[in-house]
Chains A and B, each alone.
Chain A
Amino acid sequence: MSIKANEVLDAKGLACPMPIVRTKKAIASLEPGQVIEVQATDKGSTADMKAWAEGTGHQYLGTVEEADVLKHYLRKASEAEAKEEIKHPHVMELADLRTKIEAGEAVALLDVREPAEYSFGHIPGAINIPLGELEERFEALDKDKAWHVICRSGNRSDLAAQKLTAKGFNKVTNVVPGMSTWDGAVEKDN
């Protein structure tokens, strides 16, 4: 599968600790919320990348193995998301969304995570427009539909819901918390 990343780091052939040392350096120059693809051949790098990300607040999205190369995807921690204050007034619990979907209701679902996150697992039928691209791409969405916006934790989707409302969408609901606790059906791009 092809997963979109803002930057690709080649750490192939490097033994531990170099893949993480290089990743740490490379991720420092990324914008918050951006995704890095780290290519490594050291088998131990998967577990270490995951544990390192957990400790630093960066988000480990997943690993894809292609031939002998491990491609690790990480999303840089984003402080802005954790700090926002104004909240979109209409929210829906994840469980209620699940009930709707499982009852076969047609739900207009917008997933505003990064394409890489979306690729590693999303709710079937969800449309992907990352928060950062919503400004340019919102016109592709039908304004009259009742949009349910989802992300990982409910923060980016809150910002997206506010943005859509400001653009004239009037039936926007933020789904909380988000994919981090979703245990219903998922679809993957691989």
Chain B
Amino acid sequence: MAKIMSTKELATKIVTGEATFILDVRNKDEFDNWKIEGGKVELLNEAYFNLLDGVDSITDKLPKDKDIIVVCAKGGSSEMIADMLEEAGFQNAYSLEGGMKAWSEHLEPVKIGDLKDGGSLYQFVRLGKGCLSYFIESNGEAAIIDTARMIDTYESFAAKKGLTIKHTIDTHLHADHISGGRRLAEKAGATYHLPPKDATEVTFDYTPVEEGNDITVGKTTVKVQPIYSPGHTIGSTSFIIDDTYLITGDILFVKSIGRPDLAGLAEDWVGDLRNTLYSKYKELSDDLIVLPAHYSFPEELGEGGRVAARLGDLYAKNSGLQVDDEDVFRKMVTENLPPQPNAYQEIRKTNMGKINPDLDEQKEMETGPNRCAVEG
């Protein structure tokens, strides 16, 4: 029987930059659409159904000196192929437990830094989807920004550190993943904050996020300062934490910028997006560290798995911030957009509370990459 590798073990390999060989045995279309990337990952795709008579056709492409991690959709086919590899003499073959479905759910906490009054800020990296959420802790209290659906990860992280979750905050109404913000707030007795302009159709109570209404975490003031920054959605709001970090949501990423079309209003929102990126953010300090809600390219994954960049550096390098002509910008963010995230309309409805899919359906809706960015 082949050895099994957990998503946690694979995540550690990726964020620590360990050379990793992945044999993805899903069909080519699924592989091309969504795969494991980042760190020093080397990939080979050969569908399991082409290997039913044996693995001879690929053995000369496989390494002997590092782990081979076989990956499929849910973990069944990868186990069969890993078994066959083992029989063919590859003692270094593993099957990824739960496949891409489990990989999509793994959250890897990475420390971003200490806060001035003793707290800390963590980035939870969802490697399988490129989603980033943030965990602020200070003096026994915690706040989470852009909480993923898998709320137990945050709960156990808080419990281990003896923290009470006080706030969950969404920068906007998400279209690529199901927010865990409301459910976690209900469970922990915390307050769920949402920008009111994104919440016009929601079916539940929430606390509106508004400029001027700072959110405090802990006794020491870790200020969470909202800045209304529309464009990806009409309500999109950014947060400055501790005068040091700028949580940009889906407005500004490290290598790209947000797309304005996922609520079907690209033409209306493109002006807001431009204003936020080319005027509003420009008034902020260049030294703020930008912490986005997504990454789309494996090279955005920095040291230890961190995704972060200095705002001033992004104004010099990010291709989405170099477009002087407004018409060129408009074209860039409304034409030739990448495909939309899987089931994005159903995901938006779920996040509004309009539909209540069961867990299996939710998992199915979230398969695939986030696709919230547009490249300049």
Contacts and interface: CB of A to CB of B under 8 A. Distances in A.
B30 A17 contact: no
A7 interface: no
Interface stretch (B47-55, B271-279, B313-321, B346-354): B47-55
Given A20-B52, A55-B49, A47 B27 contact: yes
A44 to B, nearest CB: 5
Given A17-B77, A20-B52, A48 B72 contact: no
B76 A47 contact: no
A18 interface: yes
Contacts of B28: 51
A48 B30 CA distance: 10
A52 interface: yes
A51 B77 contact: no
B74 interface: yes
A68 B248 CA distance: 42
B73 A51 contact: no
Contacts of A87: none
A48 B49 contact: yes
Of the candidates B30, B50, B73, the one having the most CB atoms from chain A within 10 angstroms of its own CB is B73
B74 A48 contact: no
Nearest to B77: A17
A16 B25 CA distance: 11
Contacts of B49: 17, 20, 24, 48, 51-52, 55
A15 interface: yes
Contacts of A24: 49, 52
Nearest to A23: B49
A47 B77 CA distance: 15
Interface string A8-24: 00000001111011001
A52 to B, nearest CB: 4
B265 to A, nearest CB: 32
Interface in A33-75: 43-44, 47-48, 51-52, 55
Given A51-B49, A52-B49, A17 B27 contact: no
B76 A48 contact: no
Of the candidates A16, A24, A48, A55, the one having the most CB atoms from chain B within 10 angstroms of its own CB is A16
B80 A17 contact: yes
B29 interface: yes
A55 to B, nearest CB: 6
Contacts of A16: 48, 72-74, 76-77
A15 B76 contact: yes
A15 B47 contact: no
Contacts of A17: 48-49, 52, 72, 76-77, 80
B47 A21 contact: no
Contacts of A55: 47, 49-50
A55 B51 CA distance: 11
A47 B28 CA distance: 10
A51 B52 contact: no
Contacts of A47: 27, 29-30
B47 A48 contact: yes
A55 B77 CA distance: 18
Nearest to B79: A17
Nearest to A49: B49
A21 B80 CA distance: 11
Interface in B1-36: 27-30
A17 B75 CA distance: 9
Contacts of B30: 44, 47
Given A44-B74, A48-B47, 6 more contacts: A17-B77, A47-B27, A47-B29, A48-B27, A52-B47, A52-B50
13 contacts: A15-B74, A15-B76, A16-B74, A17-B72, A17-B77, A18-B76, A44-B74, A48-B47, A48-B49, A51-B27, A51-B47, A51-B49, A55-B49
Interface of A: 15-18, 20-21, 24, 43-44, 47-48, 51-52, 55
Interface of B: 27-30, 47-50, 52, 72-74, 76-77, 80, 364
What are the nearest 7 A-B pairs in CB distance? Answer: A17-B77, A52-B49, A51-B27, A15-B76, A20-B49, A16-B76, A16-B77
